[in-house]
């Protein structure tokens, strides 16, 4: 957790008000590292370039395939990792 705190502090120094996407990107990299993984390994598994994985992780682009690979590596659903990209459609559904 100390490492993550340092990462967050570096982001805040660079960008007085870090975006949620930047914090999530750093958290993804941190959690992958805890599991002995990296964005490069996720890219190889997904059959895409590391820049594509990084772009999705940062929030610059979308790829369901990459989102699912990242989430799977973190033992999560893509909707948990990227909730704004997967709105809960059951909320507005009639009962």
Give residue-wise pLDDT tens across range 8-23.
555 554 555 457 788 9
Closest C-alpha to 43, from 51, 32, 31: 51
Q: What is the helix (H) or strand (E) element at residue 1, kind and residue range?
A: none
CA atoms within 13 A on the CB side of 62: 9
Residue-wise pLDDT for 43-90, tens only, equals 999 999 999 999 999 989 999 999 999 999 999 999 999 998 888 755
Which tens digit of pLDDT belongs to each residue from 23-33?
999 999 999 99
């Amino acid at each position: 957790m100390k490492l993550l705190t340092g990462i967050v502090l570096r982001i805040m120094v660079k960008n007085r008000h870090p975006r949620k996407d930047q914090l999530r990107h750093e958290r993804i990299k941190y959690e992958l590292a805890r599991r002995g993984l990296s964005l490069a390994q996720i890219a190889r598994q997904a059959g895409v370039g590391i820049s594509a994985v990084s772009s999705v992780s940062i929030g610059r682009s979308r790829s369901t395939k990459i989102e699912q690979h990242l989430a799977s590596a973190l033992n999560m659903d893509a909707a948990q990792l990227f909730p704004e990209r997967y709105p809960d459609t059951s909320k507005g559904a009639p009962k």
